[in-house]
Amino acid sequence: MSDVACEISRLEKSFGPNQVLRGIDMKLPSGQVSVLMGANGAGKSTLVKILCGVHSPDTGHIKLFGSPFKPRSPIEASRNGVITVHQSINDGVIPDLDVTSNLLLDNLAQPGKRMFLKRAEMKARAAKIAKSVGFDADLDVAVSRLGIADRQLIAIARAVACNPKLLILDEPTSSLSAVEAKRLFEVIKTLKRDGVAILYISHRMSDIRAIADRILAMRDGQISGKFEGENLDYEGAVTAMLGQKMSDFKIDVAEGSSPVLQLSDLRLSDESDPVEITVSRGEIVAITGLLGSGKSLLSSILFGLEKPASGKVYLEGTIFEPKSPADAIYRGVHMSPKDRANNAVVGDFDIEANLTLPFTKNFSNLGFIDRKRQYSVCSDMIDTIGIVCQSGKDAIETLSGGNQQKVIVGRWLLKPCKVLILDEPFQGVDIKARRDIGGHIRATSDNRATLVFVSELDEAIEIADRIIVLHEKAIVGEHVNRNIDLSELLSQVSGNSNPLKQAEVIE
């Protein structure tokens, strides 16, 4: 039964100074579902991209059924039976073509096929493929007119039709309803019986419980836990994924004085329970939760990028409904977004111009930039937050990830604010830079309310006075950061505890 389909040893991969994979060892047995869990930035997607031939590894080996496997392109990977369904569904379908063509796409793209298409024959084959995953839609309709769940099923059906030996599913249920997910699990069971090795990437505990034969937890570019056997240790897997090693960082918990930011009866979606949060001046509150827990949505609402389903936000007692980031900044709410490369770094600019980006008005007279003032203020910030560089005129792209992040966080500290929101401020940052940034945030927190959104628990414990846990867009736990019961915190994060009622959460 368990002959090994794919064996990965000592796989390493860096992007520039950023080491994403630090020696991955894993075996994927045929006929079993191996679930890969990992927080954002753990390196899951990089691993998947290496397996399906998008990236090539720096060092290490992959063996496929005993012979070396080094795909140089996705086509080569799929010819060898390694088929991937990517997380972003639109990579898997072509919206302008009809369902039939989409289902047969791999077939059409093969070289040496007939030039002209036979519609009836195509439809018959497409119907068979569709049936294999229990997908029943009109085969003539253009995919652009289908919903996201249907598209996901088409992408999966396509993959299954390629006769995979190793099937990689990256968060396949993220857009499926419970019924559709169940159907997918049936398909997976059939594939298992046929001896296909399945690498299943997911955060969803319900998925994992339903189909996992073994669990691999991934963290910081390494496999941090391997769980096999009859009774899988789900709790242990989550712990391994989020990091067992909680730091011994001592926090001098601040109580905060007057309330600055109040979320009142705020619903993140129509079905979710209301969220009540109050953040006071001088207080740092960390909000944590897995992907899809509503963290990103909440930070977007506070910065004027999204609207809540219902409820109100108050800033110093007055209603706060920012229409845009500019509006939020004007009201004194600053946010450092997550994913700095896409959302924060201006690659063509030097450090100084990146630092001053939101506050050019404060650094100019009659529209003309005051370079002297910019230089002196930026030099101070570079020193206090500890950006390692030759001068503020260095291009930001020459800095390491940690130093870029310091620039991005420092940007929002140039001007005092009422509320500072930091969304994943430690993403892709080494431990030294993390301590620097965290220390600086704590040192300057006296005159504002600070909200930090993190998915890693030890980051939350390292910075916050109070930790709030979100799960499925509702609060499931709230802890003052003093001798926290870690196992309770972990189970709340993974959604294992019963969701508490609001009344119980707020003492």
Q: How far is the CB of 385 from another protein (least distance, A)?
A: 18
With CB under 8 A as the contact rule, the residue among 193, 245, 361, 372 that binds another protein is 361
**Stretch binding another protein (CB under 8 A), from 173-181, 210-218, 272-280, 329-337:** 329-337
CB closer to another protein, 197 vs 421? 421
CB closer to another protein, 86 vs 334? 334
Q: At what angle do helices 148-161 and 119-132 cross, to 10 degrees?
A: 100
How long a stretch of residues is the chain? 507
Q: Per CB under 8 A, does 204 bind another protein?
A: no
**Stretch binding another protein (CB under 8 A), from 95-103, 104-112, 327-335, 440-448:** 327-335
Q: Per CB under 8 A, does 179 bind another protein?
A: no
Handedness of CA 191, 193, 196, 202 (dihedral sign): positive
Q: How far is the CB of 374 from another protein (least distance, A)?
A: 10
Which amino acid does the sequence have at 43?
A: G
With CB under 8 A as the contact rule, the residue among 110, 177, 360, 391 that binds another protein is 360
Angle at 500 between CA 305 and CA 252, to 5 degrees: 75
Which amino acid does the sequence have at 485?
A: D
**Stretch binding another protein (CB under 8 A), from 26-34, 148-156, 337-345, 472-480:** 337-345
Please report the DSSP string for 208-225 in residue order.
Answer: HHHH-SEEEEEETTEEEE
Q: How far is the CB of 388 from another protein (least distance, A)?
A: 16
> What residues contact residue 58 under an 8 Å CB cut-off, 6+ apart?
12, 13, 14
Tokens of 403: 């130093």
**How many binding residues for another protein (CB under 8 A)?**
31
Q: How far is the CB of 360 from another protein (least distance, A)?
A: 4
Q: Per CB under 8 A, does 372 bind another protein?
A: no
Q: Per CB under 8 A, does 391 bind another protein?
A: no
Q: Per CB under 8 A, does 422 bind another protein?
A: no
Whose CA is closest to 175, among 90, 106, 94? Answer: 90
Q: Per CB under 8 A, does 398 bind another protein?
A: yes
Q: Per CB under 8 A, does 342 bind another protein?
A: yes
Q: Per CB under 8 A, does 364 bind another protein?
A: yes
Handedness of CA 314, 319, 325, 326 (dihedral sign): negative
CB closer to another protein, 284 vs 355? 355
**Stretch binding another protein (CB under 8 A), from 49-57, 198-206, 345-353, 453-461:** 345-353
Query: What pairing do the DSSP bridges indicate for beta strands 197-201 and 449-454?
Result: unpaired
Q: At what angle do helices 431-443 and 401-411 cross, to 10 degrees?
A: 10
Q: Is 134 left (phi over 0), alpha (psi -120 to 50) or beta?
A: left
DSSP3 helix / strand / coil % (the chain, rounded to 5): 35, 25, 40
Q: How far is the CB of 39 from another protein (least distance, A)?
A: 23
Contact indicator for 429, 404 with CB cutoff of 8 Å: no
Q: How far is the CB of 451 from another protein (least distance, A)?
A: 16
Site for another protein in 265-324 (CB under 8 A): 303, 324
Tokens of 366: 């009659």
CB closer to another protein, 226 vs 415? 415
SS3 sequence, 269-333? CCCCCCEEEEEECCCEEEEECCCCCCHHHHHHHHCCCCCCCEEEEEECCEECCCCCHHHHHHCCE
Contact indicator for 242, 461 with CB cutoff of 8 Å: no
**Stretch binding another protein (CB under 8 A), from 1-9, 200-208, 272-280, 330-338:** 330-338
Q: Per CB under 8 A, does 337 bind another protein?
A: yes
Q: Per CB under 8 A, does 56 bind another protein?
A: no
Q: Per CB under 8 A, does 388 bind another protein?
A: no
Q: Per CB under 8 A, does 368 bind another protein?
A: yes
Q: Per CB under 8 A, does 96 bind another protein?
A: no
Q: Per CB under 8 A, does 351 bind another protein?
A: no
**Where on the chain is the footprint of another protein (CB under 8 A)?**
16, 303, 324-326, 328-330, 335, 337, 342-349, 353, 357-358, 360-361, 363-364, 367-369, 397-398, 411
